[in-house]
Structure 1
């Protein structure tokens, strides 16, 4: 939890306690004095004081319980935000890696460089990572971006593994997928910026 948030909550609690002391204590003192002036017996005064103290204790317990519940909810929300930022950062990083890798692949194809037979292995490992890292994600936006990246990456893996692909078809497909992945990278960056902005708003 951010220290500024803690300070604000601590200050609010201290102010409430201070007003409680400044208002309740004098009021209780005046009430006891008035009861003495009215001739109320000491046993009745003690009973009244005990009753007021019991009500005060109940109110304090309710206040403390509500404050504790509020802190727990804030902590849960903070952890959820942190998880969102982590997953959004990971998705953006994977998309960026793929864009760079596909860009290098296009450069190699433009130069007529013969691709190694195992060139698809690196892309297959990234595809496996995508399938594992975002299966339990609850963000609809991230799931949508990840599914698009998976789909385009799957096409790249298929054409790289297909020995019957002509150089022209391979080049055209890889270039098309590069454009698509660049679009997905932009979406991932915008999503990360949006999630990070929510975290910053929560801290302030």
Structure 2
């Protein structure tokens, strides 16, 4: 089939060019609508996946920081049992660094449950630092033991809540992947 044959066929059908142009315009409009809609769906799915991954990251970080606080509280308890409270200042400095990391690590978190848990955690950590710094010259071992056991009791439900948030975030991530 040569170009002359095609040209002759088009010339014998004078309205064909306008129909081809109309169909091309309709196809172009369809593509103009379909492409942005497809991109929006893709962006929505990608953003949702990123949000789930971010949620798992925040939950994991929260759980590990609370676990780190648990280790510090147990170390404080062990040192009080041994009667060596001279390292309270060092533990307070470590806890202050943990508090700083905590402030930096959760500044952008928007999950309501984690925000409540982080506020409780910050409050507990700040109170514990205050007690450690105040008790440096305080000789009452029973008083300190009582305060440390109170912190342990306040801390245990926090760890359970953080673990539950981590499990829920991981389940949400796995069900959508």
Instruction: Sort the TM-score into its range (normalised by shorter chain).
Output: 0.7 to 0.9
Contact between 1:159 and 1:165, CA under 8 Å: does it hold in 2? no
Q: TM-score, normalised by structure 1?
A: 0.73
Cα deviation, residue 113, structure 1? 3.0
Paired residue for 2:23? 52
Cα separation, 2, equivalents of 1:82 and 1:114:
42
Q: State the superposition RMSD in angstroms.
A: 1.8
Cα separation, 2, equivalents of 1:72 and 1:187:
32
Residues 74, 165 of structure 1: alpha-carbon distance in 2 compared, 3 angstrom cutoff: farther
Paired residue for 2:9? none
Residues 20-169 of structure 1 aligned to structure 2 (within 5 Å): 42-118=13-89, 119-162=91-134, 163-164=137-138, 166-169=140-143
- Higher deviation after alignment, 161-170 or 79-88: 161-170
Q: Which of 155, 162, 167 in structure 2 is aligned with 1:188?
A: 162
Q: TM-score, normalised by structure 2?
A: 0.83
Unmatched 5+ stretches in structure 2 = 1-11
Cα deviation, residue 130, structure 1? 1.5
User: Is 1:172 aligned to 2:146, yes or no?
Assistant: yes
Q: Kindly report structure 1 stretches of 4+ aligned residues shifted beyond 2 Å.
A: 110-115, 163-166
Residues 114, 154 of structure 1: alpha-carbon distance in 2 compared, 3 angstrom cutoff: same
Contact between 1:120 and 1:160, CA under 8 Å: does it hold in 2? yes
Paired residue for 1:200? 174
Cα deviation, residue 189, structure 1? 1.1
Cα separation, 1, equivalents of 2:73 and 2:101:
17
Per-residue CA deviations over 1:8-29 (Å, capped at 9, x if unaligned) read xxxxxxxxxxxxxxxxxxxxxx
Residues 89, 117 of structure 1: alpha-carbon distance in 2 compared, 3 angstrom cutoff: closer
**2:14 partner SS:** helix
